[in-house]
Structure 1
Amino acid sequence: MTLSPQDMLDARILIVDDQPANVALLHELLHGVGYSQVFSTMDPTAVAALHREAPFDLILLDLQMPGMDGFQVMEALKAGTAEGDYLSVLVITAQPGHKLRALQAGAKDFVSKPFDLVEVQTRIRNLIEVRLLHRQLAQHNLVLEQRVQQRTAELLESEARYRALTELATDWHWEQDGEGRFTQVSGPVLEMLGLQDSVLADGASPTASAGWNEAERQKLLDRIAARSPFLDMVLNQSLPDGTTRQYRVSGTPVFDTRCTLTGYRGFGVEVLTLPKV
């Protein structure tokens, strides 16, 4: 993130002081170095409303004012500022003892009266730069958050579409969590994988299942264990009556939006039944 010189000079600045001479001096100072959006008020009670209406990038705030001092102004500003927003206030005070209290009240910096013009220019520039960079960062984070939400919605829609298509195009399926535990099974999955019916509970163990081509089944098990995607793997099962059933099996790992493996899903269809020879 970068700021151009024009970005700095276009910053919105508000002068708050009950003394016309001080307001005129600061106006002259700011316009003299090129700041184009400089506003002022001698009514401290109006500051919070002005800031809510059109937020300022810097508020130059005198602490000693009748009716409502600078500390009360800062309290009103904080009450109307969204959480996480950067409230940029530079206090102007002739009382050295007020400096620490002003910083504790929320001021970002201070200058003492009578003030040095070069020092004031430098502090103003530094605070504006921090404020504008903070705003850029907030906007950048908002764009990223919107992109994440959009991508998440797309993934959820894709997941729902995938599930619907899978249910229409397959005879059976299975699902596993990130630890490899089976969470859903349907059809001949258990016997095809050589697992007991208690596979959905902890402690299940493989068992032999008659009729399956062991080389094909082992290859399937290896693919699942490796969490590798595969498409249309063929498995054959010989039945006691001499017929052979043939299945086509596919599987894919499942990831979340942070690309972390969250599970595994497989599905298949019965392709054909071959009569006994």
Structure 2
Amino acid sequence: MISVDDFLNASILIVDDQEANVQLLEQMLRGDGYRCVTSTKDPHSVCALHRKNRYDLILLDLQMPGVDGFQVMEGLKANDADGYIPVIVITAQPGHKLRALQAGARDFISKPFDLVEVKTRIHNMLEVRLLYKKLEDYNKVLEQTVQERTAELRESEARYRSLTELASDWYWEQDEDGNFIKVSGPVLEMLGIRVGDLSGDPGGIQATGWNEKERETLKMKIAARQPFLDFTFSRVNPDGSQQKFRVSGEPMFNQSCRFIGYRGIGVELTA
């Protein structure tokens, strides 16, 4: 919402080569409580003044010697990054009104002045301009927030990956058919896994020496799409030594809630 102070603190520039018109508009605006009203009788200075002060509203006379209001608006458009020209034109020529709007003016005030009309058009124009600025500010804050949250998420993901690497010997992923599609770590050395081999065999583990009861229990969990935490299984090597492993995993689903496989981590407990 726009407060009364927002309106009264809005910056307004009056551009008119006639001193009487400048004084009348200044007195009217200051009498209504507007605090930031300035004026110039030099149309050549308008673009530089606007670049410096970023006025919320410019009251621009169209008929001035040397540079008319249409030329001033062209200069404002060329120098305004956001393309929004906060201009109400002042004209005594009815035929100039449509041309002024087509040139980028937001509204017009007719001469001779009807003070009630002038006040109403200025108020309405300021309301639109101030709302536009609030939207710009909101979008900047939103963009900054998105950037900060994205950076936080990336940092969190990096920490998670680091902790996962520290806490496990390997990372694994299976597709919906149970084929291993991704593994990392010294899996081949410990388990003899071959990525994509041994469809439906959790871990892609060679059959020799594994505790079949433990493996069947793990298979049942995966078949039921259940997550599992610190599941322990073991095998006996040809030389009689025993190895123990602990594995954790969770099912993966796409945006349509269709099961697409499993992912998890594992660690050898023997050492």
The equivalent position to 1:219 in structure 2, one of 218, 221, 229, is: 221
Deviations 1:119-158 (A, max 9, x none): 1101100111111111111111111111111111111122
Within the alignment, does 1:48 sit opposite 2:47 as a pair?
Answer: yes
- For 1:103, the equivalent position in structure 2 comes to 101
Deviations 1:16-67 (A, max 9, x none): 0111111111111111111111100000110010011111100000111111
Within the alignment, does 1:89 sit opposite 2:91 as a pair?
Answer: no
Deviations 1:64-117 (A, max 9, x none): 11111111111111111113x633110111111111111111111112111211
CA gap of 1:240–1:251, structure 2 versus 1, over 3 A, is closer
Structure 1 residue identity aligned to 2:200: P
Deviations 1:253-272 (A, max 9, x none): 89xxxxxxxx9752111123
| Aligned residue runs from structure 1 range 203-214, under 5 A | 205-207=199-201, 210=207, 211=210, 212=212, 213-214=215-216
Structure 1 residue identity aligned to 2:6: D
In 1, Cα distance between equivalents of 2:137 and 2:110: 34
SS of residue matched to 2:17: coil
CA gap of 1:216–1:88, structure 2 versus 1, over 3 A, is same
The answer to whether the 8 A contact 2:173-2:182 is kept is yes
| Aligned residue runs from structure 1 range 1-277, under 5 A | 2-83=1-82, 86-175=84-173, 184-186=182-184, 187-188=186-187, 197-198=195-196, 205-207=199-201, 210=207, 211=210, 212=212, 213-220=215-222, 222-223=224-225, 231-232=229-230, 234-239=231-236, 241=238, 245-251=243-249, 265-272=263-270
CA gap of 1:141–1:252, structure 2 versus 1, over 3 A, is farther
In 2, Cα distance between equivalents of 1:21 and 1:197: 87
Structure-1-length-normalised TM-score: 0.78
In 1, Cα distance between equivalents of 2:85 and 2:160: 48
The answer to whether the 8 A contact 2:183-2:195 is kept is no
In 1, Cα distance between equivalents of 2:48 and 2:251: 55
The CA deviation at 1:247 is: 2.3
The CA deviation at 1:249 is: 2.1
The CA deviation at 1:13 is: 0.3
Structure 2 residue identity aligned to 1:30: L
In 1, Cα distance between equivalents of 2:168 and 2:216: 23
- For 2:257, the equivalent position in structure 1 comes to none
In 2, Cα distance between equivalents of 1:7 and 1:183: 60
User: Which segment drifts farther, 161-170 or 115-124?
Assistant: 161-170
In 1, Cα distance between equivalents of 2:265 and 2:92: 78
In 1, Cα distance between equivalents of 2:26 and 2:120: 16
Q: Which runs of 5+ in 2 are unaligned?
A: 253-260
Count matched residues: 251
Percent identity of paired positions between Structure 1 and Structure 2: 59
Deviations 1:174-223 (A, max 9, x none): 2579xx9966313549x98xx96336xxxx94358533521223314544
CA gap of 1:59–1:176, structure 2 versus 1, over 3 A, is farther
In 2, Cα distance between equivalents of 1:125 and 1:67: 30
Q: Which runs of 5+ in 1 are unaligned?
A: 255-262
SS of residue matched to 1:197: coil
Structure-2-length-normalised TM-score: 0.80
Structure 2 residue identity aligned to 1:140: Y
The answer to whether the 8 A contact 1:86-1:134 is kept is no
